[in-house]
Amino acid sequence: MKVALLGGTGAVGQRFVKMLSGHPWFELTVITGKTSVGKRYGEVNWVLEGEVPEEFRDIVVSENSLESLKEVDLVFSALPSKEAREFERELMNRGIPLVSNASALRMDPLVPLIIPEVNPDHLSLIERQKELGVGPAATDPNCTTTVLTLPLKPLHDAYTLKRLDVASYQALSGAGYPGVPSYDIVDNVIPFISGEEEKVQNETKKLLGEVDGGEVKFASFDVQATCVRVPVLDGHMVAVHAEFEEEVDPEEAAKLLENFSSEPQRLELPTAPARPIHVRGEENRPQPRYDRDAEGGMSVVVGRIRKGANRHSLLFVVVGHNTVRGAAGQAILLAELMRAKNII
Ligand SMILES: NC(=O)c1ccc[n+]([C@@H]2O[C@H](COP(=O)([O-])OP(=O)(O)OC[C@H]3O[C@@H](n4cnc5c(N)ncnc54)[C@H](OP(=O)(O)O)[C@@H]3O)[C@@H](O)[C@H]2O)c1
């Protein structure tokens, strides 16, 4: 399939480009941007490790327009949310297949918000899009929500979440490029990230909700979040305190996490990790520097699993790569799932 990438020169866009290099199903042929329109992709300010993949160097960055998307079968979006709002809606209304990383459509009742291992069944919302003659359009969640919700899934299935208190320690690349000024973040942490806590609260409940009558009934547990920016380049850490309806045994919970696998693994999708959740027993793991690249950044790493204040509560820490599992890699995995199910 020929694919386009909107916002392909930013922090997430570059990760897409790297992960689409040599992809067995998707051929990247169009890249859009704003300030870099007209440049060869090989001339953009590449901020990832290694070089710009050879096969994309001569693509000339175009502006967002329906004209530039004429020849493609699928559009990935890594646009800033403000820019995404109108354009993604227009693509959806015109029936141009879209998989987006931006928050613009995530809370639209017609649009599935998906972590491929957590709620692949929510893709059934696309039936309603078809009836209305729009889409297919699907989104993946915010990076912190992704890292948090992957391990919550098997625990929620087993014990039923009642209440969730989380604190995130978020990497600089989560703010895009150039992101937070160095003067603000070196020798410092910043206890506020605009809009992030609301995203964690709302998206977690949509992801763990159930489709009923063609719409998602949000999960009913309470969520409280504090989101903090820290001077780490890549990899978000989340400290989780989860309280469940049922009693929880930390050892059994660790086994559920370690053994968790889902549809992307059964379908052997090209970008699926063998094990989406890794568990570490050392008292000083997971750490962003050592654990963000588990299975190429597509797995999250959980550690410090222990009892909370009562028999219904569990504490743990999880780390995941925010631009791979939290953005580009997950969007590619979602598109693979949609392809495997003949939605695109
Ligand atoms: N960073 C993360 O960890 C992360 C995780 C999950 C989701 N997201 C979401 O992913 C999206 C991209 O984030 P980012 O961190 O990559 O941001 P970024 O580094 O600021 O990149 C923004 C990109 O959008 C392009 N752009 C801006 N306005 C445009 C327009 N009108 N038309 C076409 N292109 C335009 C820019 O192009 P030029 O360079 O040419 O100006 C650049 O390629 C955001 O919606 C963000 O919320 C980010």
- In the set 156, 236, 312, 321, the catalytic residue is 236
- Rounded to the nearest angstrom, the gap between the alpha carbon of residue 189 and the centroid of all alpha carbons in its chain is 23
Residue list, ligand 1 pocket, CB within 6 Å? 6-13, 32-36, 64, 78-81, 83, 101-103, 142-143, 173-174, 176-177, 322-323, 326-327
CA of 143 to the centre of ligand 1 (A): 14
Over residues 289-317, mean pLDDT: 98
227 is catalytic: no
pLDDT reported for residue 41: 98
CA of 193 to the centre of ligand 1 (A): 16
User: Which pLDDT tens digit goes with each residue over 170-213?
Assistant: 999 999 999 999 999 999 999 999 999 999 999 999 999 999 99
| DSSP string of 96-118, one letter each residue | --EEE-SSTTTT-TTS-B--TTT
Residue 300 has phi, psi (to 5 degrees) of: -100, 155
- Most informative mutation of 5, 12, 173 for ligand 1 (most atoms within 8 A of CB): 12
143 is catalytic: yes
User: Which pLDDT tens digit goes with each residue over 258-282?
Assistant: 999 999 999 999 999 999 999 999 9
User: Which pLDDT tens digit goes with each residue over 116-172?
Assistant: 999 999 999 999 999 999 999 999 999 999 999 999 999 999 999 999 999 999 999
Confidence of residue 294 (pLDDT cuts 50, 70, 90): very high
Residues 222 and 127: beta-carbon distance below 8 Å: no
- Structural domains in the chain, sorted by start: 2-142+328-340 (3.40.50.720), 143-322 (3.30.360.10)
